Structure 1
Amino acid sequence: MEPNVNPQWVKLVQSQHPEKMLSFVQQIDEGVLAALYGMDLATYRRVREALSQQVNVAAQQLLEDPAFVDRVDHLPFKQGETVVGLGESTTDDLVSWFEILRKLLELRRPQDAIRLINEGISGHTTAHVLGRMNGVMARQPDWILCMIGANDVMRISSAATKTLVSLEETARNIEEIRRIAAARSQSAWIWITPPTCDEERMAAYPYFQMGQLSWRNEDIIKVGERIRSMPELVIDIQASFGQSAMANFLGIDGLHPTIDGHKAIVRWVVEGLTGGNDR
């Protein structure tokens, strides 16, 4: 990224997408988006392009492995199908595992015209996702890759006695989300457990300190346990990230994956969709 670009602008463009929140607006052009972020159009475009380049580089690096290339070529998505990524900031991020997956398919299977729709929204809980399911199903997805639950276990205030959403409510929400999808379509459903975090790094992060926000791995792992009990295919990111996530997989805030973390996630997703490690 160019040294004169405010890093907070980069973070905002990367992880906050007002066009998704303002779904009632037919179209928001780039000039309006730039103004919402508090920057001029040229800067906004440079930031977007730099983030796009990160995704492109990440995909190219993954494709240096011939075995991985073969897996991408054999992903079960068929020509013309629609794949929805459903979740929170880990999916919404413009350099997320889902965006890297999009680039992998563009590079390896452009002739298949597989449509990827990123329905992740930063900050959303399973309750938010449940409330959005009619809109998601209107996309007529053939596949839904769903990674949710980390925001459910956010704790607010320094002496929080409960998570934002109880574990029992999270379980009911994910069951209802799946029920709605099954009733409205024949889409194939893939669960992805939310990754673990670095609690010490989160505790030291100034913005989380100001907001008195925190997450605990024990809570995230419990959400993972509920997701692992679902009958559909589950890609268990938690098992690979570790009980406390590997340092290079998480950014300075200890919660959101780095580009290395997202590359690892998309590798595990591709492996999970193509027969796992035993292939």
Structure 2
Amino acid sequence: MNSSPAVTGERSPAGAASRFLQYTHLDKMYGYLPGMHAAQPAIFGLDPAEYQALREGFAAAARAGAQQLLTDTEAAARVDRWSAAGPSTVLVAGDSLTDDLQSWVEILRAALDLRSSGHTVQLVNHGLSAHTTAMIARSWPATLTVTKPDVVVCALGGNDVTRVGPDPRKTQVSPAESLANLAELRRIAQTLVSPHWIWVTPAPVDEVRAGAFPAFRFGQSSWANSDVQQLSEGIHALGGPVVDLTTVLGVPAAPELVGEDGVHPTLAGQIEIARAVLGPLAQDPGR
């Protein structure tokens, strides 16, 4: 999934650069290229100060989301239990819903920092916008070797169920192949580093909003909640803890929890995802 909704699901005064920056992080894919980090402001048409200010704005939104999450006493207690369990590295594999600079991962990172500045949980956000399960697989062994995670949260599949073109006849990746890819990602991880594994299903959408969104209309990309639900059911059958976003966000996604493009969650939606993922993280943080 890849589009350009603004910081909280509403139009941002920072314009297109802000909306692209929210989901596009070239250093994750091309960080090995000399000078990539320094070149990013110019790539987005920004000077370094503007670039930094926008990133700080997204970080502030994630902190605000964390503060809202922590007003829930049970959520705060779960953050404390997770933090108190001791050192762990949590690798999150996902798409643009994870890659988002104010995603549920960044909200949980901020919540940990707010509750315990000396915590020893390392969160690695390996969300890659527009990536399918097949695309993630190519770099998966290297990612695991570098990060050596104690816990993997796998939040992939939203791009697999994307349909493309006029009168689309199939999803980008078939349900059977998606499930085979997901099972293989877990098998590789278990072989290399043996982490605790948590699934997060694809997120339901607002089909009407998605169908009307200009970027998706231009790219002829569409989503059907029936495809999302079919893949989600298959993920449950793979076994292990599952955070089902069809339950968290509703089907179709509740209007206040999904942005103007009908696909990417608002900050409120990301907070609800963070709240749900906290359950299995606090229950068994990989120790």
TM above 0.5, yes or no, is: yes
Aligned AA for 2:65?
A: A
Change (3 A) 1:102 1:19: same
For residues 180 and 18 of structure 1, what CA distance do their matches in structure 2 show?
25
1:203 aligns with 2:205: no
User: How far apart, CA to CA, are the structure 2 residues paired with 1:4 and 1:261?
Assistant: 18
Correspondent of 2:28 among 17, 20, 24:
20
Alignment of 1:91 onto 2:93: no
Q: 1:127 to 1:147 in 2, by over 3 A?
A: same
Shift in alpha-carbon separation, 1:256–1:214, aligned structure 2, 3 A: same
Deviation at 1:189, TM superposition (A): 0.7
State the Cα distance separating 1:76 from its structure 2 match: 7.0
- Matched residue, 1:62: 69
Amino acid at match of 1:46: A
Q: Which amino acid aligns with 1:58?
A: G
Q: Does structure 2 conserve the Cα–Cα contact (< 8 Å) formed by 1:196 and 1:220?
A: yes
SS at match of 1:116: strand
Aligned to 1:127: 134
How far does residue 275 in structure 1 lie from its aligned partner after superposition? 5.0
Alignment-derived partner of residue 79 in structure 1: 86
Q: What secondary structure does 1:34 align onto?
A: helix
Shift of 1:4: 9.0
Greater mean deviation of Cα atoms: 237-246 or 13-22: 237-246
- Amino acid in structure 2 at the alignment position of 1:267: R
> TM-score, normalization: structure 2?
0.90
Aligned-partner Cα distance in 2 for 1:256–1:64: 24
Structure possessing the higher relative contact order (Cα contacts under 8 Å, 6 or more residues apart) = 2
The one-letter code matched in structure 2 to 1:159 is D
Query: Which letter does structure 1 place at the counterpart of 2:113?
Result: E
**AA paired with 2:141?**
N
- Aligned 8 A contact 1:199 1:217 in 2: yes
CA contact (8 A) 2:83 2:119 kept: no
CA RMSD, Structure 1 to Structure 2 (Å):
1.9
Note the C-alpha offset of 1:40: 1.4
2:194 aligned with 1:176, yes or no?
Answer: no
Displacement of 1:173 after TM fit?
0.4
Query: What residue number does 1:222 align with?
Result: 230
Amino acid at match of 2:14: N
Runs of 4+ residues over 4 Å off in structure 1 = none
